[in-house]
A and B are shown apart, each in its own frame.
Chain A
Amino acid sequence: MEKKTVHEPNTHPKESTGVKLGKSFGSMFKRLFVREKDPLSVLEEEALQTPTQTIIKNFIRTKLGVVGVIAFILILLFSFVGSELRPIDESYQEPALSNVRPGANYLKYPSAIVKEGVKEISSGISFSVALTNQGNVYIWGKQPIYLSGRATSIFKLPKDFPQGKIAHIAAGDRFWVAISEDGKFYGFGYNNFSQLEVPQNVKMKIQTTAVRQLLAGEGVTGILLENGEIYIWGSTLATRQDIVPAAYQGRIVHAEITPLNVVVLLDDGTIGVFGTEGNEISDIPEELTDGSVKVVDFTTSGRAAMALDSEGKLHIWGSVMHGLLNIPEFEGNVVDLFGGKNNFGLLLDNGELVYWGANHFNQLKMPKEAKHTKYVAVYSDIFQNFAVAEDGTISAWGHEGFIFGSDQFGRDNLTRLIHGGRISLTVGAIAMIISVIIALIIGLVSGYFGGWVDNVLMRFTDVVISIHFMPLAITLSTIVTGSVPEMYRIYMIMVILGFLNWPGLARLIRAHLLLEREKDFVLAARALGVKQRNIMVRHILPNIFNLVIVNVTLGYASALLMESALSFLGFGVAPPTPSWGNMLDSAQKATVIEYYWWRWVIPGLAVVFAALSVNLIGDALRDAMDPKASEK
């Protein structure tokens, strides 16, 4: 930046490409802005340089300016192309996935499980646990964040952990449990509801009776014994999942935990439900309870359940959300059925998979090889799916993780960053355009007419410039947002920012206009009899154009900062519409700042990068237009 620029336009071997580029840009600008009568010959073109050409040439020489342009183009692509590629459902929330650490390795299972053969895979919100045929346990994914002391790492196995002798595993939302062949219980991760501590009476039972199935839900752990008895503990105070009806105890063949209930398959082929009453799952269709059909298998998703009877017919009940109850048509017999949190799946006897339900995390987007692979087992849990093929290979699809983490509502930070960028950049740009238009009108009128018009307009500028920006902006924002529907709020923010930002530029334009007006070329134009209005538009305006461009660029950076500050305070773009500022809105709590750093660092850095790149462009433009300044 500090390099002295030597003006030798045609004899600089090093910068030949840059100069070429400059020329092509220059001629483009020339065609756009300069009236060209007859094209110049090659010799003339090299000898002469229009001011625009000089500016562009100088601009390309300042490396930081070019870096700024490239960075800004990247940011634009990220926000505008990205928001087309990655659509957002603003109202979608997934509380189960709140405050998840950045990471995208949920589906990257260790290769050892393929070698040893999968016996079971179970997934939590941000990790998966696999039990192999050799009795070994493998864990991958991300540690769910814990704030209280009542939690341990999900990855760190204790020294006495009996690898090779594990009988069952199960993963809950933020914890996982395992039981060894000799009936020893192990738990890892969240323990906020004591879900990792086996109650004393259950401990006695598992020492004498073999375990058929381990169960884990949202803060709840359960054990199903070979004698048909089930025991549930953990976060059961509100859901009452620990109270097993006497009619079921001892007759249970298979069980699954949903957020509010426990669904069980009894030895007579009927379905039973206990836990919270009066919800979508506890409302079982009659034929499943009165013994008219014999259920052989069932599965549950978050808010619905599905059972398969001995005649191969499917029975489905629960919430209609995400189209969970709309079973697609398929050909073949059902071998196995499984449910993620918001979707269902079927494994058919020809090895094909049928999936339906929500697709927020690509749960339905099966890998390419799925079409010609015959699967023998599928493990679907939460949002992760793993299918084991005949030859033992594994196909994984579904939720890969959040590269930039998730916020307090379980929304993907990356998606919100992309769409927030689109909003923030647009709001800043439109605010800037509004203020430039006002500044141009007031500056030009005032500078050109002079006299009382000038006096009145400049006093008006004084008034606006005297008003503190932030207090007035938030006061204005309160007024307009109180009386305007939510969807127009964003336009009002643009207008507010635009209306408060013009005075500085208007003064500058007026001052330069007064300078230019006294110059000889204006006198010459007047002597030639050019109309007043044409002198203004054709002769004076192009001379202050450079000034306006530089100030628009620098002003855009400050408009971006203003928008983010307003939204940060809660007076700008209103959630759920994302903007870089309001993504930080919730970051005013110490726990968020300290533990959920990705929720404020990432959008904050996005604002910094955008403003920095625009400022770099603005500085380089200013230096390019005023070569004297760059020599300082």
Chain B
Amino acid sequence: MLKYLAKRLISMIPVVIAITIIIFALVKAMPGDPARMMINPALKEEQREAAYRAMREKLGLDYPMPVQYVKWIAATLSGDLGWSSMNNRPVKEVIAEPLRNTLILNVFVTICEIAVILPVGVVMAVRRGSLIDKFWQVFSLIGYSMPSFFIGLSLIFIFALKLKLLPPGSMPIAAYGKDLAYYLSWFKYMLLPMLSLTIISIAGSIRYVRNAMIEALSQDYIRTARSKGLSEKVVIYSHAFRNALIPISTIIIMSVFALLSGSAITEQVFAWKGIGYTLVLALNNRDYMLVITLNLLSTMLAITANIVADITYGIVDPRIKLE
């Protein structure tokens, strides 16, 4: 197990290096001059030139690209992520909150998603062709044909603007400190983006759960189990479902991965200050270090998700030896 993990991690190293090079090159190719963005615009003409020179020196922009890249990697590895020109704070401080917001949102969405797709997927497979099955199939088809922002806008229209049940977006401000009321209202603000993302991820994954379950139910050992007189409940839950869990676990991990990518748009619609929202803000403000860090972060999350998927596969299916 450990050996496999080590091997898998080592094989990822060239991929990670390539990704860092790509991201670095992309950000360097962005229009504008980071040094000019960071000098004080109130300076006088002659002072500005000197300040600009000093800033270029400080940011190391006069070195050749490979040197800059190595310097950036070294700094990143030592935990120095640079300076965010948009917030005038170190990037490390800036990204802490968006990261937390995105992760909490996605954790809740994943919990809701699993809570729905497992029971519903099983029922769909067991009662194939029933009304429930058809309803969820249509739901899934329409759900994954819908742009995520359209689901978001519709939810805002219905729940926030017409029924006036929930806030339409943004996040609460901790005016009176972070007491219980603050967390409650925080949760209330999270409900709509959560619902929106849950719908998207359920629509994307429920048919795979159904298919996995159908596959499992059509196996020979199910017939054996039935013919030896086991109750249908036992057949479905301890024979079929256990076996269907193997593909289902990958489906869930892959959908979490897709979620992280898709949440950028939903965050934008609901002004939920997560990674995606911050990235759009940073791009519009030409905050180079923040853009580079956020891209790196989301890519690393994706790679981690892939590795986790592989490992889970080995854990739920003892037949697969991780070698």
B157 interface residue, CB < 8 Å from A? yes
Query: Given A593-B153, A597-B157, A608-B142, do A565 and B211 touch, yes or no (CB 8 Å)?
Result: no
B39 interface residue, CB < 8 Å from A? no
- Contact string against B for A residues 337-379, beta-carbon threshold 8 Å, 1 for contact and 0 otherwise: 0000000000000000000000000000000000000000000
Residue contact B14 to A459, C-beta cutoff 8 Å: yes
How far is the CB of A549 from the nearest CB of chain B, in Å?
Answer: 19
Query: Given A466-B302, A588-B269, A594-B157, do A612 and B142 touch, yes or no (CB 8 Å)?
Result: yes
Closest Cβ neighbor of B19 among chain A residues = A463
Query: Given A459-B15, A466-B303, A565-B148, do A632 and B211 touch, yes or no (CB 8 Å)?
Result: yes
Expressed in whole angstroms, the Cα–Cα distance for A475 and B297 within the complex equals: 14
B95 interface residue, CB < 8 Å from A? no
B318 interface residue, CB < 8 Å from A? no
Q: Which residues of chain B have C-beta atoms less than 8 A from A478's C-beta?
A: 30-31, 283
Expressed in whole angstroms, the Cα–Cα distance for A588 and B144 within the complex equals: 22
B41 interface residue, CB < 8 Å from A? no
Q: Which residues of chain B have C-beta atoms less than 8 A from A604's C-beta?
A: 147, 149-150, 153-154
Query: Given A604-B153, A607-B150, do A470 and B262 touch, yes or no (CB 8 Å)?
Result: yes
Expressed in whole angstroms, the Cα–Cα distance for A587 and B150 within the complex equals: 10
B268 interface residue, CB < 8 Å from A? yes
Expressed in whole angstroms, the Cα–Cα distance for A469 and B298 within the complex equals: 10
Residue contact A482 to B211, C-beta cutoff 8 Å: no
A476 interface residue, CB < 8 Å from B? yes
Expressed in whole angstroms, the Cα–Cα distance for A581 and B268 within the complex equals: 14
Expressed in whole angstroms, the Cα–Cα distance for A475 and B276 within the complex equals: 11
A590 interface residue, CB < 8 Å from B? yes
A468 interface residue, CB < 8 Å from B? yes
Expressed in whole angstroms, the Cα–Cα distance for A561 and B156 within the complex equals: 20
Query: Given A468-B302, A478-B283, A482-B32, do A463 and B142 touch, yes or no (CB 8 Å)?
Result: no
- Contact string against B for A residues 607-632, beta-carbon threshold 8 Å, 1 for contact and 0 otherwise: 11001101110010000000000001
Residue contact B30 to A479, C-beta cutoff 8 Å: yes
A471 interface residue, CB < 8 Å from B? yes
Instruction: Please count how many residues in chain B sit with their CB below 8 Å of the partner chain's CB atoms.
Output: 54
A383 interface residue, CB < 8 Å from B? no
Residue contact A565 to B15, C-beta cutoff 8 Å: no
Partner of B156, one of A466, A469, A476, A593: A593
Query: Given A468-B302, A593-B161, do A557 and B145 touch, yes or no (CB 8 Å)?
Result: yes
A467 interface residue, CB < 8 Å from B? yes
Residue contact A479 to B26, C-beta cutoff 8 Å: yes
Residue contact A594 to B141, C-beta cutoff 8 Å: no
Residue contact B22 to A479, C-beta cutoff 8 Å: no
Q: Which residues of chain B have C-beta atoms less than 8 A from A463's C-beta?
A: 15, 18-19, 22
Residue contact B31 to A568, C-beta cutoff 8 Å: no
Closest Cβ neighbor of A467 among chain B residues = B299
How far is the CB of A546 from the nearest CB of chain B, in Å?
Answer: 19
A195 interface residue, CB < 8 Å from B? no
Q: Which residues of chain A have C-beta atoms less than 8 A from B161's C-beta?
A: 590, 593-594
Residue contact A600 to B153, C-beta cutoff 8 Å: yes
A564 interface residue, CB < 8 Å from B? yes
How far is the CB of A428 from the nearest CB of chain B, in Å?
Answer: 12
Expressed in whole angstroms, the Cα–Cα distance for A476 and B153 within the complex equals: 26
Closest Cβ neighbor of A470 among chain B residues = B264
Q: Which residues of chain A have C-beta atoms less than 8 A from B18's C-beta?
A: 459-460, 463
Closest Cβ neighbor of A591 among chain B residues = B161
B197 interface residue, CB < 8 Å from A? no
Expressed in whole angstroms, the Cα–Cα distance for A611 and B151 within the complex equals: 14
- Contact string against B for A residues 564-604, beta-carbon threshold 8 Å, 1 for contact and 0 otherwise: 11001101000000000100100110100110010010001
Closest Cβ neighbor of B27 among chain A residues = A475
Closest Cβ neighbor of B14 among chain A residues = A459
Residue with the greatest number of chain B CB neighbours at <10 A, chosen from A463, A557, A604: A463
B234 interface residue, CB < 8 Å from A? no
Q: Which residues of chain A have C-beta atoms less than 8 A from B156's C-beta?
A: 590, 593
B168 interface residue, CB < 8 Å from A? yes
Residue contact A466 to B306, C-beta cutoff 8 Å: yes
Q: Determine chain B's interface SS by DSSP, over half rule.
A: helix
Residue contact B264 to A471, C-beta cutoff 8 Å: yes
Expressed in whole angstroms, the Cα–Cα distance for A568 and B161 within the complex equals: 21
B68 interface residue, CB < 8 Å from A? no
How far is the CB of A544 from the nearest CB of chain B, in Å?
Answer: 22
Closest Cβ neighbor of A610 among chain B residues = B145
Expressed in whole angstroms, the Cα–Cα distance for A614 and B215 within the complex equals: 26
Q: Determine chain A's interface SS by DSSP, over half rule.
A: helix
How far is the CB of A621 from the nearest CB of chain B, in Å?
Answer: 14
Partner of A587, one of B14, B15, B128, B153: B153
- Contact string against A for B residues 256-284, beta-carbon threshold 8 Å, 1 for contact and 0 otherwise: 00001110110011000001100110010
Residue contact A611 to B299, C-beta cutoff 8 Å: no
Residue contact B145 to A608, C-beta cutoff 8 Å: yes
Q: Which residues of chain B have C-beta atoms less than 8 A from A594's C-beta?
A: 157, 161-162
How far is the CB of B142 from the nearest CB of chain A, in Å?
Answer: 7
- Contact string against B for A residues 1-23, beta-carbon threshold 8 Å, 1 for contact and 0 otherwise: 01000000000000000000000
Closest Cβ neighbor of B279 among chain A residues = A471
Q: How large is the interface on A (under 10, 10 to 19, 20 to 34, 35 or more residues)?
A: 35 or more
How far is the CB of A401 from the nearest CB of chain B, in Å?
Answer: 24
Q: Which residues of chain A have C-beta atoms less than 8 A from B144's C-beta?
A: 615
Closest Cβ neighbor of B168 among chain A residues = A590
Q: Which residues of chain B have C-beta atoms less than 8 A from A474's C-beta?
A: 264, 279-280, 283
Residue contact B129 to A561, C-beta cutoff 8 Å: no
Residue contact B168 to A470, C-beta cutoff 8 Å: no
Q: Which residues of chain B have C-beta atoms less than 8 A from A612's C-beta?
A: 141-142, 145
Closest Cβ neighbor of B305 among chain A residues = A466
Residue contact B157 to A468, C-beta cutoff 8 Å: no
Query: Given A459-B14, A474-B279, A615-B141, do A468 and B153 touch, yes or no (CB 8 Å)?
Result: no
Q: Which residues of chain B have C-beta atoms less than 8 A from A208's C-beta?
A: none
A472 interface residue, CB < 8 Å from B? yes
Expressed in whole angstroms, the Cα–Cα distance for A225 and B114 within the complex equals: 76
Residue with the greatest number of chain A CB neighbours at <10 A, chosen from B18, B154, B275: B18
B42 interface residue, CB < 8 Å from A? no
B294 interface residue, CB < 8 Å from A? yes
Q: Which residues of chain B have C-beta atoms less than 8 A from A479's C-beta?
A: 26, 29-31
A197 interface residue, CB < 8 Å from B? no
Residue contact A475 to B291, C-beta cutoff 8 Å: yes
B249 interface residue, CB < 8 Å from A? no
- Contact string against A for B residues 4-38, beta-carbon threshold 8 Å, 1 for contact and 0 otherwise: 00000000001100110010001101111000000
How far is the CB of B292 from the nearest CB of chain A, in Å?
Answer: 9
Residue with the greatest number of chain B CB neighbours at <10 A, chosen from A459, A482, A569: A569
Closest Cβ neighbor of A566 among chain B residues = B265
Query: Given A471-B294, A476-B26, A479-B31, do A466 and B265 touch, yes or no (CB 8 Å)?
Result: no
Q: Which of B284-307 contact A (CB under 8 A)?
A: 291, 294-295, 298-299, 301-303, 306
Closest Cβ neighbor of B146 among chain A residues = A608
Expressed in whole angstroms, the Cα–Cα distance for A456 and B12 within the complex equals: 13
Residue contact A467 to B19, C-beta cutoff 8 Å: yes
Expressed in whole angstroms, the Cα–Cα distance for A615 and B145 within the complex equals: 7
How far is the CB of A14 from the nearest CB of chain B, in Å?
Answer: 21
B214 interface residue, CB < 8 Å from A? yes
- Contact string against A for B residues 197-216, beta-carbon threshold 8 Å, 1 for contact and 0 otherwise: 00000000000000100110
A41 interface residue, CB < 8 Å from B? no
A111 interface residue, CB < 8 Å from B? no
A462 interface residue, CB < 8 Å from B? yes
Q: Which residues of chain A have C-beta atoms less than 8 A from B283's C-beta?
A: 474-475, 478, 571
Q: Which residues of chain B have C-beta atoms less than 8 A from A475's C-beta?
A: 26-27, 30, 279, 283, 291, 295
Closest Cβ neighbor of A463 among chain B residues = B18
Closest Cβ neighbor of B260 among chain A residues = A468
Expressed in whole angstroms, the Cα–Cα distance for A441 and B146 within the complex equals: 31
Given A466-B19, A479-B30, A608-B147, 10 other A-B residues pairs in contact with their CB atoms under 8 A: A2-B129, A462-B15, A466-B15, A471-B295, A474-B280, A569-B268, A584-B150, A593-B157, A611-B145, A612-B145
What are the 10 A-B residue pairs with the smallest beta carbon separation, nearest first? A482-B31, A612-B145, A604-B150, A611-B145, A470-B264, A594-B161, A468-B298, A468-B261, A463-B18, A2-B129
6 interchain pairs, CB-CB under 8 A: A2-B129, A471-B264, A472-B295, A474-B264, A475-B26, A615-B145
